[in-house]
Structure 1
Amino acid sequence: MLSPMKTTPVALGVLLICAAVAPAAEPTPSQSVDTSFLKKYAETRRFMLGRPQSPKVAPDGKTVLFLRAEADKPTLKLFEFDVATGKSKEVLSPAALLKGDTENLTPEEKARRERMRLSAGGFADFHFDNTGQRVLLPLSGKLFVFDRTNGKVTELKTGEGGAVVDAKWSPDGHKVAYVRGFDVYVYDLATEKETPVTTGGTAIKTHGLAEFVAQEEMGRFTGYWWAPDGKHIAYEEADHTGVEVWYVADPFKPDQKPAEQFYPRPGKKNVSVRLGIVPVEGGETVWVEWDRKEYEYLARVEWQKYGPLTLMLQSRKQNTVDLFEADVRTGAAQRLLSLAARESDREWVNLDRIALYWSKDGTALLLRDQVTTIKNRGDNLARKIDIRSSFIKIDRIAHFDPDTGAGLFQASSHPHRMHAFLMKHGHRAQPLRLDEVVQLTRDNGVHTIAGTDKLPVVVSTTARSMPVTRVYNTDGKLVGALASVALEPDVTPNVEFIPDPSEPEFNDHGHRQSNPPKEDECFAAIVRPKNFDPKKKYPVIVDVYGGPRHLHVQQAMRNWLVPQWLADQGFIVVAIDNRGTPGRGSNWEAAVYQKFGTVPLEDQVKGLHRLCAKYPELDKDRVGIVGWSFGGYMAANGVLRAPDVFKAAVAGAPVTDWEDYDTHYTERYMGLLPESKKAYDDASLIPLAKDLKRPLLLVHGTADDNVYYRHTLKLANALFRAGRDFEALPLPGVTHMYTSDPVVMERLWAKTAGFFKTHLGEPK
């Protein structure tokens, strides 16, 4: 175990690395910790290996294809679930396609998987053609077509030069489009010929690729779109001219050049994006015209069966998001609807709360806090659809049939959980009746939905069970479950949720019957050790994230496996979802605007005090805090701003200076520079370094291209120069997804437990 770092006249970078690798002279608490559970947890990728992933329903509704790995091997294979028999079988493996070759991921594909938070190898995705008989499979920089009728696999003869990414079928299934290098290509299956659709793409001015912030922050991983008739492709041109280039070097490989990345920071130059429309058979690009100074972000593009080419454009301040219809012939763009109050200075629009579907009658179905229709496009008229919005909060529309109006959605009135619903057939411009909604899930937990209205696929987890994927029919009746071979945890988390969500959320008539949360009440959870002794007082560890767009306190078993292991080392672990987290309305979320450093921490402290007052087994004088990413920021912020509350912290991959994080995330919550400079200064941890009084362990992957290692180095440098004692653990070659390395996962949590045992002590 590392000892607290003393100020010595050596180079800081060398000091940090040496501190991480120097052997301990004596056995340490972390070495005495039983890590057998952690080892299994890490090797099984959080007990998720062997569980179905990415289920997709075939167009005929007779089968569901999905990806799945073995329980102990992180390589995804292709499986098929037969609706008639309810049985699953393997249909294709990466090994069969590679024929003994080793899978080779290009740097572009590695970066793409990092953005998608995908750590497994093998098939990352697959796509049905319009008939469902053929499946497109990218693998190891190559493209394969699997014919389900005869089992034949064909490798597409793509050209040389540049990685092949983001492959898609044409609407008629005769062609495949993809990006190779920095341009869009189309492959004709009949002639086996590849043709460039765009030309002139470069690393600085890319064609058909989603830029960094689109992938990392907007959830948009594509940069081109087929027209419904297959005759045109719309593509993004991302001009990185003037955008800062940051570098990620591998300290273990000083002979290799650092990886380069365009990384736009607050107040700096953003990527300049525009949208072009080009005929697939060749011709000039027509550029869509919009005010790109007013709308810097191309948030979404939709080109659906019955709708026009629709753009969702967002201002840099992100308090304005508007829908535009583009004329394919001229490029002229007409505003359809504004989704935010233009005069708002404090609120932003959450892109993940918006979905757009065009129906057969030309009506657009839009999700934003509730379901809304835009009748007669162009008249800028919006109308709500009543699907018990007074009782449930719609989280996501997963599917919509434009011909019938049927669909699937997720909804809840309680952030602890989420339920899955089926919308039956009906004219969506009219209020939706209760008898048109089927609630597919009843058990308290987190239920997410995919598939189609004819064959909904629901992934369900509860506080006592790991995810199970089930298939239903159009009447909401269970058809069967996709087969899993995952290892199940040998421990059930001893977790208590506050407030108590044990009652079912809805009765049989769709009415909410559990009490709504109090307006200022933070949701929390307590994890006690399995050998809990109510006569003792336990040191407390706050397991924190606390940032926007993420909930930790949910009725999902996998959230509580590591906290349970940590509690079993002699602690009580608590988690609190503060203001700024989703699921509680816009006022709750907007409370953190320009107050990252104060409001989330205030809520954590308030929630902790309430828990300590209610549960005497919590020792309020021995509290530690641990988190990763935004949680790492919260952990370091806790010991720096509230040392009277938090007596030790482990901060993983912390953002220490918000001027060094990306534009789209940071400016949404912190405002624009230079006018919001004070808010950035107030939220920064660097000026607080001189005030450190408590033990602090900083952990960071040196290959992190999301929260750069620079963040930890800046704080470590400020601490070192201020003469403060701290510990630092660099993880060479590790990215922001430290969980993808089983050894790192196991050792890091063991070290964390040892650190807190040293500084918080044992139960008394």
Structure 2
Amino acid sequence: MLDAFLDASARTGRFTHGAPRAVTISADGSRLLLLRSTGPTDPVERLWTVDTATGAERLLADPLELFGRPVTYDDLPRAERELRERVRLHAPGIGSYAATGDHAVVAFVLGGRLFRVADGRAEEVPVAGPAFDPRPHGGRIAYVAGDAVHVTGIGRVTPDDGAVWGRAEFNAAEELGRTRGHWWGPDGDSLLVTRVDDSALVRRYLGDPARPEVAPVAQAYPRAGGPNADVELHVVRLNGLSTPVGWDRETYPYLTGVDGLVITVYDRLQQHSLLLAVDPVTGATTELAAFADEHWLECVPGTPCVLDDGRILSTVEEDTRSLAVDGAVITPPDLYVRRLVGNHGGGLLVEACDGDPAEQHLFVVHLDGRLDRLTHGAGTHSAVSGGGVLVTTSATLDGVTRTVTGALSAEPGHPLTDLSGPLPHLGRPVFARVTEHGLPTAVVYPRGHVAGRQLPVLLDVYGGPGYQAITHNPRVWTTKQWWADQGFLVVTVDNRGTPNVSPDFTRAMFRRFSQVALDDQVAALGTLADRHPDLDLSRVGVRGWSFGGYLAALAVLRRPDVFHAASAGAPPTDFRDYDTAYTERYLGLPADNPDGYAADALIADAPGLRRPLLLIHGLADDNVHPLHSLRLSEALTAHGRPHAMVAVPGVSHMTPEGVGERLAAIELDFLRANL
């Protein structure tokens, strides 16, 4: 049986059921739309509208009434299953929705059935087949069925030519921040639609050994160094006529953004990108701006873009990450910009850091360089803006609050209803920046710890590009506090290569993952032990998932003098078998950096294992394929190196509620036995 915390975590969606998400604001600022379930143990998310002036709520769509029961994984069209895996979404209700700017029409799907909400009433709309990714415009809804884009009242509008129309390919959705494949044109008489030909990609197969009667599923996978999907963009008119959008796709194969008639494209190594304007009649493109970086260009959400006056807004990465207009920096040198939210209060609303990287605040940047700070106090603050209204989410170590306010309002806003249950306890990390690199770290003690009593160390790690572990998200520290209460001093370190400290900090992993990450983790442990003498460095365990699983396995294979046991979940053990867009951004092409790829692979280290190692992998993982753990296990077995492996049928890279908690219980037993 699970203990009380793990059981509560499983029943409450890791304490998120009942919390609002997917908030959008109408163009006039009068209404919000959001998804939320009815309470902490209800996983089924409904669609709600909220009056921004009063906070009054109204239920617009209840999937239990419309679909008759919770939507299961088996109900979903394959395209939606794959997208939910890419965005790490597990929701047996309404997973996502799309609305017109005035919120007059909202569209969503439930198990492939299309629903439209207008005048406060939800009704089902007939479709050509299991529907996916609906997008309303005026009185019509564009959606994907099979490999084609359809429009209600018209029918199929893309050719039947063997390609996939209207869906984001693997690289775009998993690594490049583009989860869509079709967009309405500004006039509503045409769409911009992607055409994806993945015939050149290698096929991988995912089967369920627990159900051998079910045929394996084939996946077109862009393996590092190999071919990518061929992605085109077309202007598709409602009469079915299609005009290809022209740019140098051989040089710039990655389409990362579509905003009206402006698109962003990147080269394969993501060191060069173009911002292009599309002629909707001819499909010809005009270059608006070009960007380059000798390492890689970061895809900063919201940028680059065209301002209302026609100038180009972008980011510049030097000592910090700055906003620039036509190349001229407009933000102060101590501000590190993380995301452009949108227009607000006569300027540009950004999420940024101006000091401690564990914090994030909201600022309005004016084009003349003035800066208005909207949030204060230690925490991670994020926002959605529109129509002069701001919905702010403030995460602190004491909890999460969401507030609705007007533009730069001095008056306190009203809270957005949150029906999630209270956290069973709060984590109390001790933050510090350590070593000459200023690594962000945290140590969590067991509640009631008696000073002078040494405890085994649990390094709870991620350590890879794109994810920051040291933040003020209270749910993160609640889970780490549970681990500490099991009898560990829990240590977390953001080594160089992780985001949001400085460009140079992140770029330290350029062309080599393993050495920087491992060296920084070891150095941080040594420094923290001087500050926290109850860290028993003779008993150090490490656990992680994905890149964290890679780093955990790397730790016991290469530094058994420091690390004494490891639990490695879904580790990419050889990046030559990982995807192109992520791997090549940091390591380059395998043919150009063979030594770097070889140095970062773990298979050759198998003969030297002399510490306990637990490998965990879901057998339905289409991101880090099970081959990674299986090949490492095969090599360990071939060299007679004892290890343990938990292979979980039917589980993907995204462990659903309940599975993750049961795996945590297995990890706990393993770490206790070996530390």
TM normalised by structure 2 equals 0.95
Give the secondary-structure state (helix, strand or coil) at the position aligned to 1:351: coil
Which residue in 1 is equivalent to 2:160?
A: 200
Query: Which amino acid in the other structure matches residue 62 of structure 1?
Result: S
Q: Alignment partner for residue 496 of structure 1, among 417, 430, 448?
A: 430
Q: Alignment partner for residue 752 of structure 1, among 667, 671, 674?
A: 667
Which residue in 1 is equivalent to 2:479?
A: 562
- Does 1:183 pair with 2:153? no
Counterparts of 2:133 and 2:232 in 1: how far apart (Å)? 19
Alpha-carbon shift at residue 755 of structure 1 (Å): 1.3
Superposition pairs of residues 260-659 of structure 1, within 5 angstroms = 260-283=218-241, 285-303=242-260, 309-341=261-293, 344=294, 347-352=295-300, 355-368=303-316, 369-374=321-326, 382-386=327-331, 389-400=332-343, 406-413=347-354, 414-422=356-364, 428=367, 431-434=368-371, 437=372, 439-452=373-386, 454-465=388-399, 467-476=400-409, 477-499=411-433, 520-659=437-576
Give the secondary-structure state (helix, strand or coil) at the position aligned to 1:639: helix
Q: Cα gap change, 1:519/1:326 in structure 2, threshold over 3 Å: closer, same or farther? A: farther
Query: Which amino acid in the other structure matches residue 355 of structure 1?
Result: T
Counterparts of 2:314 and 2:185 in 1: how far apart (Å)? 21
- Does 1:125 pair with 2:77? no
Bigger mean CA offset, 81-90 vs 633-642: 81-90
- Does 1:239 pair with 2:223? no
Alpha-carbon shift at residue 114 of structure 1 (Å): 1.0
Counterparts of 2:225 and 2:70 in 1: how far apart (Å)? 46
Q: Cα gap change, 1:83/1:318 in structure 2, threshold over 3 Å: closer, same or farther? A: closer
Bigger mean CA offset, 696-705 vs 476-485: 476-485
Q: Cα gap change, 1:290/1:129 in structure 2, threshold over 3 Å: closer, same or farther? A: closer
Alpha-carbon shift at residue 399 of structure 1 (Å): 1.6
Q: Alignment partner for residue 216 of structure 1, among 148, 165, 174?
A: 174
Alpha-carbon shift at residue 99 of structure 1 (Å): 4.0
Instruction: Write out per-residue CA displacement over residues 439-462 of structure 1, whole angstroms, 9 at most, x where no aligned residue.
Output: 332121111111326111111111
Instruction: Write out per-residue CA displacement over residues 518-573 of structure 1, whole angstroms, 9 at most, x where no aligned residue.
Output: 86111100000002111211110000000001000111111112211111111100
Superposition pairs of residues 695-706 of structure 1, within 5 angstroms = 695-706=612-623
Q: Alignment partner for residue 115 of structure 1, among 72, 75, 86?
A: 86
Counterparts of 1:91 and 1:168 in 2: how far apart (Å)? 17
Give the secondary-structure state (helix, strand or coil) at the position aligned to 1:74: coil
Which residue in 1 is equivalent to 2:110?
A: 139
Counterparts of 2:158 and 2:60 in 1: how far apart (Å)? 35
Query: Which amino acid in the other structure matches residue 590 of structure 1?
Result: R
Counterparts of 1:63 and 1:687 in 2: how far apart (Å)? 58
Contact 1:201/1:207, CA 8 A, preserved across alignment: no
Structure 1: segments with no counterpart, 5+ residues: 1-30, 188-192, 304-308, 375-381, 500-516
Instruction: Write out per-residue CA displacement over residues 129-149 of structure 1, whole angstroms, 9 at most, x where no aligned residue.
Output: 2432332222221221112x3
Alpha-carbon shift at residue 385 of structure 1 (Å): 2.2
Alpha-carbon shift at residue 493 of structure 1 (Å): 0.8
Instruction: Write out per-residue CA displacement over residues 455-498 of structure 1, whole angstroms, 9 at most, x where no aligned residue.
Output: 11111111221x22211111333321111111112211121111
Contact 1:183/1:201, CA 8 A, preserved across alignment: no
Alpha-carbon shift at residue 89 of structure 1 (Å): 4.2
Counterparts of 2:596 and 2:424 in 1: how far apart (Å)? 46
Which residue in 2 is equivalent to 1:23?
A: none
Give the secondary-structure state (helix, strand or coil) at the position aligned to 1:86: coil
Instruction: Write out per-residue CA displacement over residues 176-226 of structure 1, whole angstroms, 9 at most, x where no aligned residue.
Output: 111111111222xxxxx2322211153xx2111110110000111111222
Query: Which amino acid in the other structure matches residue 401 of structure 2?
Result: V
Counterparts of 2:91 and 2:519 in 1: how far apart (Å)? 38
Give the secondary-structure state (helix, strand or coil) at the position aligned to 2:304: strand
Counterparts of 1:299 and 1:729 in 2: how far apart (Å)? 36
Contact 2:60/2:122, CA 8 A, preserved across alignment: no
Contact 2:165/2:193, CA 8 A, preserved across alignment: yes
Alpha-carbon shift at residue 333 of structure 1 (Å): 2.5
Query: Which amino acid in the other structure matches residue 124 of structure 2?
Result: E
Aligned residues: 666
Which residue in 1 is equivalent to 2:47?
A: 78
Alpha-carbon shift at residue 111 of structure 1 (Å): 1.3
Alpha-carbon shift at residue 101 of structure 1 (Å): 8.2
- Does 1:54 pair with 2:19? no
Which residue in 2 is equivalent to 1:5?
A: none
Which residue in 2 is equivalent to 1:379?
A: none
Alpha-carbon RMSD across the aligned residues, in angstroms, is 1.9
Query: Which amino acid in the other structure matches residue 495 of structure 2?
Result: N
Counterparts of 2:359 and 2:436 in 1: how far apart (Å)? 18
Alpha-carbon shift at residue 169 of structure 1 (Å): 1.7
Query: Which amino acid in the other structure matches residue 154 of structure 1?
Result: E
Alpha-carbon shift at residue 91 of structure 1 (Å): 3.4
Instruction: Write out per-residue CA displacement over residues 98-154 of structure 1, whole angstroms, 9 at most, x where no aligned residue.
Output: 24586522222111111111111211122232432332222221221112x3x3222
Query: Which amino acid in the other structure matches residue 168 of structure 1?
Result: R
Instruction: Write out per-residue CA displacement over residues 237-280 of structure 1, whole angstroms, 9 at most, x where no aligned residue.
Output: 11112111111100111111111111011111111111111222
Counterparts of 2:386 and 2:301 in 1: how far apart (Å)? 20
Counterparts of 2:363 and 2:58 in 1: how far apart (Å)? 28
Give the secondary-structure state (helix, strand or coil) at the position aligned to 1:697: strand
Counterparts of 2:296 and 2:273 in 1: how far apart (Å)? 9
Counterparts of 1:759 and 1:729 in 2: how far apart (Å)? 17
Alpha-carbon shift at residue 92 of structure 1 (Å): 2.4
Q: Cα gap change, 1:725/1:755 in structure 2, threshold over 3 Å: closer, same or farther? A: same
Query: Which amino acid in the other structure matches residue 274 of structure 1?
Result: E
Contact 2:435/2:527, CA 8 A, preserved across alignment: no
Alpha-carbon shift at residue 313 of structure 1 (Å): 1.3
Q: Cα gap change, 1:698/1:405 in structure 2, threshold over 3 Å: closer, same or farther? A: same
Contact 2:6/2:661, CA 8 A, preserved across alignment: yes
Alpha-carbon shift at residue 74 of structure 1 (Å): 1.2
Counterparts of 1:670 and 1:455 in 2: how far apart (Å)? 42
Alpha-carbon shift at residue 38 of structure 1 (Å): 0.9
Q: Cα gap change, 1:612/1:519 in structure 2, threshold over 3 Å: closer, same or farther? A: closer
Alpha-carbon shift at residue 63 of structure 1 (Å): 2.2
Alpha-carbon shift at residue 603 of structure 1 (Å): 0.3
Contact 2:71/2:92, CA 8 A, preserved across alignment: no
Counterparts of 2:421 and 2:431 in 1: how far apart (Å)? 26
Fraction of identical pairs, as percent: 35
Contact 1:295/1:316, CA 8 A, preserved across alignment: yes
Alpha-carbon shift at residue 354 of structure 1 (Å): 5.5
Counterparts of 1:63 and 1:326 in 2: how far apart (Å)? 32
Give the secondary-structure state (helix, strand or coil) at the position aligned to 1:713: helix
Contact 2:70/2:93, CA 8 A, preserved across alignment: no
Query: Which amino acid in the other structure matches residue 21 of structure 2?
Result: Q
Give the secondary-structure state (helix, strand or coil) at the position aligned to 1:730: strand
Counterparts of 2:625 and 2:472 in 1: how far apart (Å)? 32
